[in-house]
Structure formats: structure tokens, C-alpha cells
């Protein structure tokens, strides 16, 4: 759960795994799955005949550690396995992480099977749970259709999408560093521009105003504010970039890093969490507040010929990665199926 999340849908082999629809929370708008009803003991007891196991991905911040202990205890009493993929050792929706880490520890201790997306994340989970963790890579979330390779431009284009300025987005620090790095690169003769995008609706209006002031009058940097991009529009926006800058102040993994890999757009990011381990060859690091490190990362990221939007090299690389990722998806689904079989076997043995 949640079953309507694109990640959850991607990893489930439709021939062998049935995903139950997300139970609607009382009074929630249509399509809202949180707070997840599947984690409530009363829901589990009432629907025990409807499912074989529970696989938790997201939404645990809706409940505290004690509530999740009750969830685990209920599943154990019902003889239903719990599988937990630890996407978020640090929750991007929260500023304070102590309670979240306590919740992660509860689920990690109580789960029949644990999954992480990279070796380094698995090591961190193993340190918490004191048990082995299966490593299954993040799959592509793009469909099988044509993928954009960008439009040719006259300058190198760097983009950073701050989305709605949720807690783990360092919009002000990232923008301030970018403005100075672009100024330094242009002073050295580089033909380069940067675009800072935010959603129309943001969580931190004060930060959004500060970002506007930082960019005002800055050569080569513009702010773009608009409606939340749908999947196709986001892919097209990213494909037009020579490199994408990630603005995280904390986190664990990044779905954006996966999308950028699919589109052959290198990323420039701080070394937080385990993002660097997702696609190391496409990862170029910088430190917030250090424009020299950012300028260096941008130069490194945009050096390979295939990074140029609209080029034959970019299109060829996108096509190669699409074939690679299509094959990987079959492996990812098979790996999850094996985890489910182990979990179900252990419950039967118990």
C-alpha cells in the first residue's frame, strides 16, 4: 500500500499479484488514500479473508509508533505476513525525524521481509533491524511508449524544480547557490541559463518570496511558477535540460533521480541519503552554500556528448536506457514475487 501509487503498481506483476484498491478514509476526497486504512487493526480484522499479505511502502507518518505496534501485532495474530520496503529512512514530508525513525524501527522489527532500494540503504536498515534486507532496485515508472529526448537550445540549460516547497526542499539555499554558480560560469564565458520552477500552490510562501528576490536581476536565472505538471509534462520539462539540480535538504532515495536516468538527464545533487547510490555515473555532487562546488558539478555533468537535449546522442541514449529498464522491470517484479513467496512460506511454517 498504497496501491494507487505508481511505484507500487510498477513492481506488482499483474499476472501473479492482485492489488486491492486503497480503502477510502472516512470523509476524504475521492482518490485520497491517506491516512491509510490498511494499517488500522480494525480494518485488518474486518478484511482478513480478502488479502494474503500487507506490503507497506508509504504513509506511515499518518500513525505513531504505538499505533504501528498495534498494526504489527494484529497481523501476527491473524497469521498475515508483513513486507516493508524502507523508502524513507528520513521522511521528506517532515522536519523532525525522531518519531518517524521510531516508526521505521517498529515496522522493521515486525516485518517478515524487508526491502531497500540500494546496497547502502540496505546497510542502514540492517543496522536498525539487525537482520538481512533484500535489495531490489527502483524500477522505471515510465510506460513503454516513446520517451522525449528534449529540444535543441542555444545555451546549456540547468533546471531545478522546487515543487510545493515541502519540508525536505531547501528552496532558498539551493536557489542562492545556483544564482552565484551561474554568475561565475557566465563570467568565465559559459553560455548557460538556469530555470527555477515552483508549483502555483506552495507550502512556504515566505520561502517562495525569498526565492523571487534572489533571482530578481540575476543574469541567466529565471523563476517559473505554474500548475503542478502531470507525468507527461514533467518528462518533457526534464528532457529539455542539460542537467537537473535536486534541491533536497534531507531524504533517502529520489524518484526524480530515476526519472532523470530514464531521460538521460544527469543530476546535480547534495550528498544526502542514498541518492548517489541509485545511478552513480549520473550523479554529480555539490554543497549548498558553495557555488564553486556547484559550478564544478554542472561542468562535469554536462561534459558528455549525450547530455545535450535534442541531439541524436541523447535520443540514442534514451532508447538504450528504455530497453535496459524494460528488462530490469521484469527482474524487479520477479524479485518482489520471490519476497512474497518467502513471507507466505514463513507464515505457513510458523
Q: What is the pLDDT of residues 68-84, one digit of tens each?
A: 999 999 999 999 999 99
pLDDT of amino acid 350 = 56
pLDDT of amino acid 348 = 57
* Residues ≥6 apart with Cβ < 8 Å to 197: 159, 160, 161, 162, 223, 224, 225, 226, 237
pLDDT of amino acid 59 = 94
Distance between CA atoms of residues 41 and 184, nearest Å: 57
Give, in order, the Cα–Cα distances in Å from 96 to each of 79, 93, 108, 202, 240: 34, 9, 20, 20, 35
Residues of the chain with pLDDT under 50: none
pTM, to two decimals: 0.94
Domains, the chain, in order of start with CATH, read 6-139+330-349 (3.40.50), 156-313 (3.40.50.2000)
pLDDT of amino acid 154 = 94
pLDDT of amino acid 31 = 86
Amino acid at each position: 500500500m498504497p496501491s494507487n501509487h505508481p511505484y507500487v503498481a510498477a513492481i506488482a506483476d499483474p499476472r501473479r499479484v492482485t492489488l486491492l484498491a486503497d480503502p477510502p478514509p472516512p470523509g476524504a476526497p475521492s482518490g485520497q488514500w491517506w491516512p491509510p486504512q490498511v494499517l488500522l487493526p480494525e480494518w485488518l480484522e474486518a478484511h482478513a479473508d480478502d488479502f494474503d499479505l500487507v506490503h507497506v511502502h508509504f504513509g506511515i507518518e499518518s500513525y505513531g509508533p504505538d499505533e504501528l505496534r498495534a498494526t504489527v501485532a494484529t497481523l501476527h495474530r491473524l497469521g498475515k505476513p508483513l513486507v516493508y520496503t524502507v523508502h524513507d529512512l528520513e521522511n521528506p514530508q517532515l522536519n523532525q525525524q525522531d518519531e518517524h525513525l521510531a516508526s521505521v524501527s517498529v515496522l522493521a522489527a515486525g516485518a517478515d521481509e524487508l526491502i531497500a532500494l540500494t546496497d547502502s540503504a540496505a546497510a542502514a536498515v540492517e543496522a536498525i533491524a539487525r537482520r538481512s534486507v533484500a535489495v531490489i532496485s527502483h524500477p522505471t515508472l515510465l510506460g513503454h511508449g516513446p520517451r522525449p529526448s528534449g529540444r535543441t537550445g542555444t545555451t546549456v540549460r540547468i533546471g531545478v524544480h522546487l515543487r510545493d516547497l515541502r519540508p525536505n526542499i531547501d528552496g532558498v539555499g539551493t536557489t542562492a547557490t545556483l544564482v552565484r554558480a551561474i554568475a561565475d560560469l557566465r563570467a568565465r564565458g559559459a553560455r548557460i541559463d538556469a530555470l527555477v520552477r515552483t508549483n502555483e500552490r506552495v507550502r512556504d510562501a515566505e520561502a517562495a518570496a525569498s526565492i523571487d528576490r534572489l533571482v530578481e536581476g540575476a543574469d541567466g536565472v529565471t523563476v517559473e511558477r505554474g500548475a503542478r505538471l502531470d507525468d507527461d509534462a514533467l518528462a518533457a520539462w526534464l528532457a529539455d535540460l542539460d542537467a537537473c539540480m535536486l534541491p533536497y535538504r534531507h531524504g533517502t532515495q529520489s524518484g526524480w533521480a530515476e526519472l532523470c536516468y530514464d531521460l538521460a538527464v544527469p543530476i546535480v545533487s547534495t550528498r544526502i541519503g542514498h541518492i548517489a547510490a541509485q545511478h552513480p555515473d549520473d550523479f554529480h555532487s555539490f554543497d549548498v552554500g558553495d557555488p564553486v562546488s556547484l559550478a564544478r558539478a554542472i561542468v562535469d555533468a554536462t561534459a558528455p556528448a549525450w547530455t545535450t537535449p535534442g541531439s541524436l546522442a541523447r535520443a540514442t541514449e534514451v532508447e538504450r536506457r528504455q530497453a535496459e529498464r524494460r528488462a530490469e522491470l521484469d527482474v524487479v517484479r520477479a524479485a518482489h514475487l520471490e519476497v512474497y513467496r518467502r513471507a507466505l512460506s514463513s507464515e505457513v511454517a510458523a
